[in-house]
């Protein structure tokens, strides 16, 4: 017996219409999850996909006329202006951006709720005379052609990933979750507490003690789960994914998305960045011994002068490991460049960096141009009043850290420290002590990658605890 569908409600109730169409084409929550897992694969090449679609639209005069006739902020399309609508003109770039945003939302939306359905409906309406312009009314045949083109382009793209066979592709798309963690079978109490203490190193003592106490209580009450959150097939699948030798699975620079890359491409992109001789240089020998000697010399001197305790000395000289680097693709940038991330935690200069950070961290409260957190930003921007001829803009500084001169940043920091309420006179250290410790932490910017040793020649070291606050201090007067 056929299921009854209310025709009137179908045209008036957006949620009801979506449920009907979903049921008709068997579109389920599992399909939404698959779209979400597809996004990290599609997003890096989305500009290319959109370009392909627009080349297709340009290949027929009727689709060019229907889809490219008007944009908000641009003049209405007329036949005598058609020659000016090239694929790289401002208006078409705007159109491409709109399509990119639409596709990203399709791929990233985890819940197709009423708000998202309203968005989809609005996208449809702007291609009809209901959307506010009687000059636009795209026939369904052209919309269908566009959707089919997108679908075919997506399928061709996924199929073309040669490093993974199709069966693996499907399994990865269905099963892989970057933030997914298998249920732990046990908890190492000591390791957990130590890691918590390290992560809370700059937190006020009262809050730190309360947090560690609560975590310790939780660990003592913890019992091994009776159920595991993965079945045998999923466990087997993760092992198979791990065994694939020619891929790397990494996190994108923004949004916490995952990216599956060919391993050679991954290494080549990072080494391409490291080949910038203005910023990096490869060193022949392991610099660990030299750095260790410099740190020991300074720390021993401060101990003899009773400026630090024996416990401080042990802490400041307790780690011998050099930082390592990894790459994260910037999916939101053209050509998907790779950003280098330096993993400096628990490395040779991190104790000194954290030690100095505790001394200078209060300087951030003296800076006029620093936003403390998201709530602070919302409060500030809410109070901003714009005139009709004014626009609010967000600017980014390319490669900020590597372009900040270390010596000048240190000098400005010392001057700020001298001027602040936290006087140097109240500290056991001289200005020279702090300067020498800053130099030790910031100028020994060595790291390892792929079995080789490198040094960052210019700027603040990426990944160092001190770099963000020194960047803020340096930029504040500008």
The predicted-structure confidence for 438-468, as pLDDT tens digits, reads as follows 999 999 999 999 999 999 999 999 889 999 9
State the average pLDDT over residues 420-440. 82
d(CA 145, CA 53): 11
The CA-atom distances, in angstroms, between 163 and each of 154, 168, 264, 301, 325 are 17, 10, 11, 55, 24
pTM, whole model, 2 decimals?
Answer: 0.56
pLDDT tens figures, 272-286 = 999 999 999 999 999
3-class secondary structure, 213: helix
pLDDT at 94 over 50: yes
State the average pLDDT over residues 285-289. 94
Q: How many CA atoms lie within 13 A of 103 on its CB side?
A: 26
State the average pLDDT over residues 311-340. 85
pLDDT score, position 176: 37
3-class secondary structure, 374: helix
pLDDT score, position 204: 73
pLDDT score, position 177: 42
State the average pLDDT over residues 183-189. 72
pLDDT score, position 64: 74
Beta bridge partners of 94: none
Please, what is the average pLDDT of the chain?
A: 79
d(CA 463, CA 445): 10
pLDDT score, position 183: 66
pLDDT at 79 over 90: no
pLDDT score, position 174: 41
When pLDDT is cut at 50, 70 and 90, the band that residue 315 belongs to is confident
pLDDT tens figures, 257-270 = 778 888 898 999 99
Query: What is the percent of the chain where pLDDT is above 90?
Result: 21
When pLDDT is cut at 50, 70 and 90, the band that residue 73 belongs to is very low
State the average pLDDT over residues 113-117. 84
pLDDT score, position 127: 60
Greatest mean pLDDT range, 126-130, 169-173, 333-337, 392-396: 392-396
């Amino acid at each position: 017996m056929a299921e009854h569908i209310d025709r009137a409600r179908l045209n008036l109730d957006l949620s009801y219409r979506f449920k009907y169409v979903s049921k008709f084409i068997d579109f389920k929550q599992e399909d939404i999850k698959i779209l979400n897992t597809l996004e990290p694969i599609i997003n890096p090449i989305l500009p290319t996909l959109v370009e392909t679609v627009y080349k297709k639209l340009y290949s027929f005069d009727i689709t060019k006329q229907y889809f490219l006739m008007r944009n908000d902020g641009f003049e209405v399309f007329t036949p005598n202006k058609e020659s000016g609508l090239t694929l790289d003109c401002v208006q078409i770039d705007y159109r491409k951006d709109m399509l990119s945003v639409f596709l990203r939302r399709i791929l990233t939306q985890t819940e197709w709720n009423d708000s998202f359905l309203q968005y989809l409906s609005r996208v449809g309406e702007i291609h009809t005379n209901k959307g506010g312009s009687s000059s636009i009314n795209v026939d369904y045949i052209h919309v269908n052609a566009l959707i089919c083109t997108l679908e075919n382009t997506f399928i061709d793209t996924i199929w073309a990933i040669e490093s993974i066979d199709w069966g693996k592709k499907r399994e990865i798309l269905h099963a892989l979750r970057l933030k997914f963690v298998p249920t732990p079978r046990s908890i190492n109490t000591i390791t957990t507490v130590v890691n918590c203490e390290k992560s809370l190193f700059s937190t006020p003592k009262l809050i730190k003690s309360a947090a560690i106490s609560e975590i310790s209580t939780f660990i003592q009450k913890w019992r091994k789960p009776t159920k595991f959150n993965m079945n045998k097939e999923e466990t087997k699948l993760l092992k198979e994914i791990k065994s694939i030798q020619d891929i790397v699975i990494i996190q994108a620079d923004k949004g916490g998305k995952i990216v599956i890359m060919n391993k050679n491409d991954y290494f080549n992109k990072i080494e391409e960045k490291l080949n910038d001789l203005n910023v990096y240089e490869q060193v022949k020998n392991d610099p660990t011994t030299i750095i260790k000697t410099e740190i020991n010399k300074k720390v021993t001197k401060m101990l003899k002068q009773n400026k630090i305790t024996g416990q401080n000395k042990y802490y400041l000289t307790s780690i011998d490991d050099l930082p390592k680097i990894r790459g994260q693709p910037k999916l939101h940038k053209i050509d998907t460049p790779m950003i280098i991330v330096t993993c400096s935690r628990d490395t040779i200069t991190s104790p000194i960096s954290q030690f100095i950070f505790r001394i200078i961290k209060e300087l951030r409260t003296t800076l006029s141009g620093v936003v403390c957190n998201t709530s602070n930003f919302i409060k500030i921007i809410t109070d901003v009043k714009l005139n009709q001829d004014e626009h609010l803009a967000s600017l980014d500084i390319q490669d900020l850290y590597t372009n900040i001169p270390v010596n000048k940043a240190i000098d400005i920091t010392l001057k700020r420290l001298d001027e602040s309420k936290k006087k140097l006179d109240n500290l056991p250290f001289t200005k020279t002590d702090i300067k020498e410790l800053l130099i030790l932490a910031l100028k020994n910017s060595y790291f390892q990658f792929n079995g080789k040793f490198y040094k960052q020649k210019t700027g603040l070291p990426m990944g160092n605890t001190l770099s963000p606050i020194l960047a803020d201090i340096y930029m504040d007067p500008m």
